[in-house]
């Protein structure tokens, strides 16, 4: 049997492009698309099969922001598969983004312009909300739902015979300054997206510490700035089109403008082919594109210490216990 690869958020954007690229390289893979919306999932599956008719592509429905849905999907996956070779933790949201126009215009004429466009630092705030489980939605979607999924799939992932992989879609905008252990859901701040991406960087480091001896390795990638549903939430498509001449020019100085999901998937595909034991768990692997449009992968040392990663991991375990208890209580009452 070929390798089994699970991809969350495979219905659009970089998740969908990743699936397409993986199958182009190896149609013996079994790809399982973990998607929230069944209609969009089926459309993605049909498009993948049209391009690669002999491939094995299946779907599992999961809303990673809803803990019951994650638990149900994990049960189904445990039933369907003996093992998972690779899980891409890719689904993510940036709800109600607000662009700080003043910071944008003053940044364009400053020496920080390349850094500002590559990381969106100081440019974006978001309005978060609370899920039915009582969690901050950005944290629940980008981090916690995925954490629970991995915990529940542990029997399929942690083997000593041959290694399994976790590959997270993080971001260059993950910033230590937006994260705090005391408010790790970022309920009091205005940059939950950056906080959540820093949180998943921490989690990846902690998972490596806990599981590498049992054959499970975790890595973090950033796809760069691409035009997807997520970025169309920041600015409408016509404004991106208007800005394209500036962006094309900036591409000669900054490698983060991958622009298409296909280019953005570069680091995610590259990681799949690496021996996980040879990767540095403290590196973030970045998709990059040159001014002439060639793709490559580069690395960035993450601003992370093992102690904070471990403390965060322990907090997630506590929250898991609490939330599962709450869910059980409400289910018994109803
Ligand atoms: N675009 C960029 O420039 C950029 C830069 C850095 C990192 N990223 C990261 O790349 C990843 C993919 O984003 P994208 O840019 O490709 O945007 P996208 O096209 O909006 O894709 C997001 C995917 O996540 C899924 N998703 C969202 N909430 C979900 C939930 N509660 N449960 C299950 N699936 C859910 C979406 O499913 P639906 O079809 O149901 O909405 C969709 O398939 C994200 O983690 C994002 O943070 C993007």
At 88 the pLDDT is 98
The Cα 227–Cα 50 span in angstroms is 24
Pocket test for ligand 1, best of 7, 9, 175, 260 (most atoms within 8 A of CB): 9
Which residues does 38 contact at the CB level (< 8 Å), separation at least 6?
A: 59, 61
The Cα 203–Cα 205 span in angstroms is 5
At 118 the pLDDT is 82
At 170 the pLDDT is 98
Which residues does 126 contact at the CB level (< 8 Å), separation at least 6?
A: 94, 95, 96, 97, 98, 138, 190, 191, 192, 193
At 16 the pLDDT is 98
The Cα 204–Cα 312 span in angstroms is 11
Distance 111 CA to ligand 1 centre (A): 31
Nearest to 166 by CA among 214, 234, 236: 214
Pocket lining: 55 vs ligand 1, CB cutoff 6 Å: no
Annotated catalytic residue within 193, 198, 217, 285: 193
Residue 77, CA atoms < 13 Å, CB-side half-sphere: 33
**pTM confidence score:** 0.97
Specify the CATH class of 4-333 in words: alpha beta
Work out the angle between the directed axes of helices 67-80 and 306-333 (0-180°, nearest 10): 100
Distance 233 CA to ligand 1 centre (A): 11
pLDDT one-digit tens code per residue, 124-175: 999 999 999 999 999 999 999 999 999 999 999 988 788 999 999 999 999 9
Do the Cβ atoms of 133 and 66 come closer than 8 Å? Answer: yes
The Cα 223–Cα 212 span in angstroms is 25
Query: What separation in angstroms does the CA of 213 have from each of 158, 164, 208?
Result: 9, 11, 9
Pocket lining: 194 vs ligand 1, CB cutoff 6 Å: no
Stretches in the chain below the pLDDT threshold 50 = none
Domain range list for the chain: 4-333
Pocket test for ligand 1, best of 18, 92, 226 (most atoms within 8 A of CB): 92
At 27 the pLDDT is 86
Pocket lining: 281 vs ligand 1, CB cutoff 6 Å: no
Return the exposure string of 187-206: e unless at least 16 CB atoms fall within 10 Å of the residue's CB, then b.
eebebbbbbbbbbbbbbbbb
At 329 the pLDDT is 79
Pocket lining: 36 vs ligand 1, CB cutoff 6 Å: yes
Closest-lying ligand 1 atom to the alpha carbon of residue 94: 47
Distance 13 CA to ligand 1 centre (A): 7
Nearest to 155 by CA among 146, 145, 147, 164: 164
């Amino acid at each position: 049997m070929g390798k089994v690869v699970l991809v969350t958020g495979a219905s659009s954007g970089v998740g969908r492009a990743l699936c397409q690229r993986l199958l182009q390289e190896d149609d013996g893979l079994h790809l399982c698309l973990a998607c929230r919306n069944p209609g969009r999932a089926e459309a993605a599956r049909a498009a993948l099969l049209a391009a690669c008719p002999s491939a094995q592509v299946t779907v599992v429905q999961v809303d990673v922001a809803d803990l019951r849905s994650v638990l149900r999907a994990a049960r189904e996956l445990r039933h369907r598969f003996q093992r998972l070779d690779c899980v891409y933790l890719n689904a993510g949201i940036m709800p109600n983004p607000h662009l700080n126009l003043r910071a944008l215009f003053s940044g364009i004429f400053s020496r920080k312009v390349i850094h500002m466009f590559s990381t969106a630092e100081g440019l974006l705030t978001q309005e978060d909300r609370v899920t039915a489980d009582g969690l901050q939605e950005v944290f629940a979607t980008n981090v916690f739902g995925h954490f629970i999924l991995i915990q529940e799939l542990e029997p399929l992932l942690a083997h000593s015979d041959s290694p399994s992989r976790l590959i997270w879609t993080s971001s260059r905008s993950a910033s230590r300054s937006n994260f705090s252990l005391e408010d790790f859901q970022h309920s009091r701040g205005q940059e939950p997206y950056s906080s959540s991406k820093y949180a998943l960087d921490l989690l990846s480091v902690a998972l490596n510490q806990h599981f590498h001896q049992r054959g499970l390795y975790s890595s973090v990638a950033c796809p760069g700035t691409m035009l997807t549903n997520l970025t169309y939430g920041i600015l409408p498509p016509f404004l991106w089109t208007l800005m394209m001449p500036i962006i094309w020019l900036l591409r000669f100085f900054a490698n983060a403008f991958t622009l298409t999901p296909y280019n953005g998937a570069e680091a995610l595909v590259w990681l799949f082919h690496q021996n996980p034991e040879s990767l540095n768990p403290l590196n973030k692997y970045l998709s990059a594109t040159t001014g002439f449009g060639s793709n490559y992968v580069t690395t960035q040392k993450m601003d992370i210490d093992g102690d904070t990663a471990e403390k965060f991991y322990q907090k997630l375990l506590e929250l898991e216990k609490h939330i599962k208890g709450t869910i059980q209580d409400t289910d018994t009452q109803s």
